[in-house]
Amino acid sequence: MNQTPNFLQNNERDLMNKPDNLISAPEFADISIWYAIIPTETDHNYPNNINFPIEFIITEKCFTNQEEEEIVEPMIKRAKKSEMQNLSRDDLLERRREQARKNSNNYNDRRKQKREELSEELEKNQIEMETLRRFCENMIENIRNLQYFILNYQPTSQNQGYFDLQHILSLENQIKMIENQKLENCRKIENLENIQKCERNFELHQRKYDIANRNWNLKQGNPNTLGSTKSRAKSEMEHAENKLKLAKIQAEIQIFKEFQTKLEQIKEFCREQFISYVNIKNIKLHEKIQMRTEDFERFEKILAFFGLPDPNPS
């Protein structure tokens, strides 16, 4: 007898005579569901007892999850099973190989894309880290230049009130303190949970690569397969290593941003002090102070760093 779905009522059996061996589900007529009936040997409704493959079209998906599970999924499985039964063993094997190749290519393409995206992100973060490092180094150098310049070319005692000499003397200690804090935070990076997770993942892939490499060197099994396994293991290991590098450098960037913020506060104080210094009672620094060449270069660096004009352009 025909494989009739549960939702067809007895008084709707006449629909089985519909042309092209199709049956409709009347209670779902508004969403146009069609499927074919598979006749059996005892079924005389169809000429020559032709075994039609199940087909169905759903123009609008209006099933509930339960209806889909009870009605649609079994139909899909039967349709696939019917289609596969018409294939020879060699055709089945070739189809499976083709699907395996497609799955492998899709997987490899996705992995390649992820590796490329990770490499790009790592490079971008490395550039940001290097920019931050150079900026902080430059800021420290100029703060020390300012300290050196003011301490070695002090104005007369009557003008001392224009800047906080004691504070300037303490700048070096402030710099050392925040530098030590930065170094301490960098040492703590290794203990961060996400860093340790990345390290364990990298070590795992490193061991997998070592095994693949050892097997390849021993020439066990198919050399081509072993070579492919070794290459894939190496790629996965490098990907895991880049993840670890990225996690570390992102943590360092955060530390250096905090370091930069503290230096910026010192820089702002130094800028105010330097403006006061160069404007004391209209002192013409280039004329009144005989600076050594290297000190004059320091002076120009300070002006450029604070974005100040030369108080006495030549």
The pLDDT value given to residue 251: 93
Cα–Cα dist 222/83, whole Å: 35
Which structure tokens are listed for 74? 């079994």
Dihedral angle, C-alpha 6, 10, 11, 12, nearest 10 °: 40
18 and 45, same structural domain? Answer: yes
**Who has greater pLDDT, 288 or 103?**
103
**Rounded Cα distance, 28 and 25, in Å:** 5
Closest by CA to 149, choosing from 313, 264, 311, is 311
What CA–CA distance (Å, rounded) separates 35 from 58? Answer: 10
pLDDT of residue 29: 40
Same domain, 147 and 289: yes
Q: What average pLDDT does this structure show over 29-51?
A: 40
What's the Rg (C-alpha) of the chain?
39
Place of tokens 């055709």: 91
User: DSSP secondary structure string, 55-74?
Assistant: -EEESS----HHHIIIIIHH
Same domain, 109 and 213: yes
Residue 246 has a pLDDT of 94
Distance CA 249, CA 179 (A): 18
Mean pLDDT in residue range 239-248: 93
Question: Confidence class of residue 222 from pLDDT cuts 50, 70 and 90?
Answer: low
Return the exposure string of 119-146: e unless at least 16 CB atoms fall within 10 Å of the residue's CB, then b: eeebeebeebbeebeeebeebbebbebb
Q: Is the model's pLDDT at 45 over the cut of 80? A: no
180 in the same domain as 237: yes
Average pLDDT over residues 49-61: 38
Give the chain's largest Cα–Cα span: 121
Same domain, 256 and 121: yes
Pair (149, 255) in one structural domain = yes
pTM over 0.85: no
Same structural domain, 39 and 157? no
Which tokens hold the place of 31? 């969403």
Predicted pLDDT at 10: 39
The pLDDT of residue 302 is 80
Give, rounded to a whole angstrom, the gap between the first and last alpha carbons of the chain: 108
pLDDT tens string 82-101: 565 666 666 666 766 777 77
Count structural domains, the chain.
2
pLDDT at 254 over 60: yes
The reply to whether 126 falls in a domain is yes
User: Would 313 be classed as within a structural domain?
Assistant: no
Closest to 2 (Cα-Cα) out of 26, 13, 76, 56: 13
Task: Please give the residue range of the domain that contains residue 24.
Answer: 10-86
Would you state the pLDDT for residue 306?
78
Flag whether 210 is in a domain: yes
At 148-206, the pLDDT tens digits run: 877 776 655 444 445 566 777 788 888 889 999 898 998 888 888 889 999 999 999 99
70 and 115, same domain (yes or no) = no
Domain C-terminal end among 58, 86, 114:
86
Same domain, 265 and 134: yes
What confidence category does residue 281 fall into, taking pLDDT thresholds of 50, 70 and 90? very low
Q: What is the pLDDT of residue 5?
A: 43
Is 105 found in the same domain as 71? no
| Residue range 102-145, pLDDT digits in tens | 776 777 778 888 888 999 999 999 999 999 999 999 889 888 88
